[in-house]
Amino acid sequence: MRLMSRSSRILNALSAVALSLGLLSIAGPATSATPAGWLRLAHLSPNTPPVDVYLYSLGNPKARVVLHHVSYGTVSPYLRAAAGVYTVEMRPAGATASSPPVLSTAVHVHAGDAYTVAGMGPAKGLRLQVLTDRLTSPPGHAMVRVIQASMREHLVTVRAGSSVIGTKLPFATATAYRAVPMGRLTIRAVGENEHALSTVTLNSGTIHTLVILDRSRHLGIDDLTDAAGTRFHPRTAPETGLGGTAPPRRPSSITWLAFIAAGLLLAGSGLVRFRRSRPSGGSGGSSLQASTSESATR
Amino acid sequence: MTRGRHASRPGRPAGLITLLAGSLVALGGLAGLVSGAVTSGSGYQGGPIPHVHAPRGRAAMLASASQDGQVPAPLFLVIPAIGVHTRLIRLRTAGDGSMEVPQHANVAGWYAASARPGAIGPAVIAGHVDSLTTPGVFVGLKYLRPGDLVYVVRADVSVVRFVITAIQLYAKDAFPSAAVYGPVPYAAIRLITCGGAFDYATGHYLSNVVAFGYQVGRGYSRHRGHRSE
């Protein structure tokens, strides 16, 4: 039940995000072939009302992306961003784009890297934190980190199966990534008064962030996939062709040169034979008969 | 006399015939050499590109970090730029640890151990460049260009749209497994076929053509927008 309400809530939030992306992305993120990194935006401050999140590339006053009415617990999809420096600003939901932002921070996006920019902390001490997201995991393992975004429980201990991911994590902090064995794992988040349980499937080659959230009545765990690879890496390159459109097999130039040489030899020997068989001293006009008799004489 | 005729006659015509035959062989060799030099590397030059429309349907949302496992299965692949419109079969991992490839050259397959198109991770799709005699479904893959769009229609009739970023040719013994199959933070697509030189001794191509792309979501697709620096 808990899961159901959680996913539907997140889906609603995501639809809202997608909708605002659709309506308000002013310019796409550079051309598809330029080196790019990835950026996602999150609201993880429990007592901060919904915000509008603006993404600018440095020096351009026009927002590249605006996410409207982003509420607590929302994490946007990763947005592709050409390598460079960006500014993220937060304004109260509905505030005009020209109004001064409540918060802003700069993010340096490197090609091939991924970042989460999250509004964290209590409303009064709200700050934008830039987290670098991991994109690789050791073979046979998944990587897991925790963002502790519960304010009701100031210290939370989180376990994935038998591995401890973080002990007494303070509110508004994030752990480093930890390798855990792949498989279905029970995640336990335990605070002083509340706790939460969630079962997640951690495939090999996946990287996850577990977000500990304040739900209306209890602690919640949101499992985010930061990155995923194929569950198995095939050992050989695929054989996807049988040659029907390949250039036809043709003899190499050496073969042709051999043909020419053999032909010349043959022609040469023929020529020699032809000349030898001519009547000695005979003129070019000698008839077949003459030649015949000449040979006969010999 | 008779004997004399027999002894003497073959000399001249035989010599003449040998001369002519030798010249013909040499000329043939020369012709072969020249034609080989002129047309070497030819083969299938590409037929007319069939006209294929982008599929209509509800555009899929950008892959989200929370939606894993809720993404519908892929059914069709459409690539208007190279006239591809194919059903997608499922490819599993074969017993020898390789990826299965489609049995028929005219259909592409989605690797079931890879991400579903539109979920975070690389969605791997393989198709043949040719059969023994005919062009395959991915014969035009090497002609894709960055910016070309690729569509996958899923079981719920939603359409996932990808934009191509790169097309690369890799020798099979240097196949970039990590780049193709490794983790990515977004919904990616990898289209794979064969290419490069064909080895008649083994009956296989020596290289793979791989096209890389990423999902563009609802409205978030104007990639030729201005750059702001």
Question: Cβ–Cβ of A266/B22 closer than 8 Å?
Answer: yes
- Whether B66 sits inside 8 A of A75 (CB atoms) is yes
* Chain A CB within 8 Å of residue B157 CB: no
Determine the 3-state secondary structure of B96 from DSSP.
coil
Residue B79 has a pLDDT of 97
Three-state secondary structure call for residue B223: coil
CATH topology of domain A136-232: Immunoglobulin-like (2.60.40)
Between CA B185 and CA A134 the distance in angstroms is 9
Structural tokens at position A75: 């994490």
List chain A pLDDT tens, one digit each, 298 residues.
344 444 444 444 444 444 444 333 323 444 677 889 999 999 999 999 999 999 999 888 888 889 999 999 999 999 999 999 999 999 999 999 999 999 999 999 999 999 999 999 999 999 999 999 999 988 889 999 999 999 999 999 999 999 999 999 999 999 999 999 999 999 999 999 999 999 999 998 899 999 999 998 899 999 999 999 999 999 999 999 999 998 887 666 777 788 888 888 888 888 888 888 766 544 444 444 444 444 444 4
Sheet with strand A36-44: strands edge to edge:
A79-82, A36-44, A114-120, A127-133
Contact A245 B21 (CB under 8 A): no
Sequence-ordered strand ranges (E) for B40-105:
58-59, 74-79, 84-91
> In this complex, do B22 and A269 lie within 8 Å of one another by their Cβ atoms?
yes
Give yes or no for a contact between A180 and A201, defined as CB atoms under 8 angstroms apart: no
A32: which chain B residues are within 8 Å (Cβ-Cβ)?
A: 146-147, 163-165, 213-214, 223
Q: What is the 3-state secondary structure (H, E, C) of chain A?
A: CHHHHHHHHHHHHHHHHHHHHHHHCCCCCCCCCCCEEEEEEEEECCCCCCEEEEEEECCCCCCCEEEEEECCCCECCCEEEECEEEEEEEEECCCCCCCCCCEEEEEEECCCCEEEEEEECCHHHCEEEEEEECCCCCCCEEEEEEEEECCCCCEEEEEECCEEEEEEEECCEECCCEEEECEEEEEEEECCCCEEEEEEEECCCEEEEEEEEECCCCEEEEEEEEEECCCCCCCCCCCCCCCCCCCCCCCCHHHHHHHHHHHHHHHHHHHHHHHHCCCCCCCCCCCHHHHHHHHHHC
Of B62, B182, B194, the CB nearest to A77: B62
What is the number of residues in chain A?
298
CA gap B94, B113 in Å, rounded: 11
Nearest by CB to residue A207, choosing from B133, B183, B222, is B183
Cβ contact, residue pair B36, A251, below 8 Å: yes
Q: Are A148 and A174 in contact, with CB atoms under 8 Å apart?
A: yes
Considering only CB atoms, A18 lies closest to which of B7, B93, B218, namely B218
Q: Is beta strand B74-79 parallel, antiparallel or unpaired with respect to B84-91?
A: antiparallel
ipTM of the complex: 0.78
Predicted pLDDT of residue B18: 85
